[in-house]
Amino acid sequence: MKILMVMTSHEDFGTTGRKTGVWMEEFAAPYYRFSEAGAEITLASPAGGQIPVDPASLGDDFKTNDTRRYEKDAEAQALLANTKKLDDVLASDFDAVFYPGGHGPLYDLTDNAASLALLSEFQAASKPIGAVCHGVTALIKAKSKSNEPLVAGLELTGFTDSEEAAVGATDIVPFSVEQELKNAGGKFRSADDWADFSVRDGLLITGQNPGSSDSSARFLLEALKA
């Protein structure tokens, strides 16, 4: 079982001077669920190399058992420091793909040609596609094998407008993930802010927020077993 995790290479949060990147829980929880299931995991990103981590996600308030595990895991840290370039990976080499979030993906994975091509190939080959929180931005412009929006007609979720407002980022982010998924034809579902909420519609798995990282990863594993 081989799983590709597609990470952001982007660290600047708009023009605010704040730093972003991947949200640590959204990498750590799926990474460890996949690893525990015996998966061979490959990390890739637009630029390759070291992945930026949102500094806020390393704060005490946001630490989880998985993020604490990562802090002591030299092997996982080495993987995050040495990701492959997205241009160099092939969908045919993997059984599933998963996109962690953080605000970084909004800037370098929404329009990334290599990512969009990979998603089309995964969909055409009937392989599971997963994403959590802002990682779902990678799905917005992805096309199916029939050149329709990949998310059209499918139930999904992602970071909500109300959650974006709660973190004071509504006027910073380049667009609303929730609205753009709806515009692409997705059937957007959500739970209360910060609730653990993931949706599986066939081979598409999405999680609403950082707290949904574990459940979205488990759904992806279920889809692989099916």
Report pLDDT digits (tens) over 148-182: 999 999 999 999 999 999 999 999 999 999 999 99
Q: How far is CA 94 from CA 39, 193, 195, 205, in A?
A: 10, 33, 31, 16
**Domain of 190: which CATH number?**
3.40.50.880
Q: Which residues have a Cβ under 8 Å from the Cβ of 86 and sit 6 or more positions away? A: 6, 44, 45, 46, 48, 112, 114, 115, 118
Give CA–CA dist 153/169, Å, rounded.
28
pTM of the model: 0.98
Per the structure block, which two tokens stand in for 137? 């931005």
Query: What is the number of domains present in the chain?
Result: 1
User: What's the rounded mean pLDDT across residues 182-189?
Assistant: 98
State the sign of the Cα–Cα–Cα–Cα dihedral 176, 193, 53, 46.
negative
**Structure confidence at residue 145 (pLDDT):** 86
Task: Tell me 29's DSSP state.
Answer: H
Identify the CA nearest to 131 among candidates 168, 177, 171: 177
Structural domain boundaries enclosing 195: 2-225
**Structure confidence at residue 128 (pLDDT):** 98
* H, E, C per residue of 153-173: CCEECCCCHHHHHHCCCCCCC
**Average pLDDT in the chain:** 97
User: What's the rounded mean pLDDT across residues 3-30?
Assistant: 96
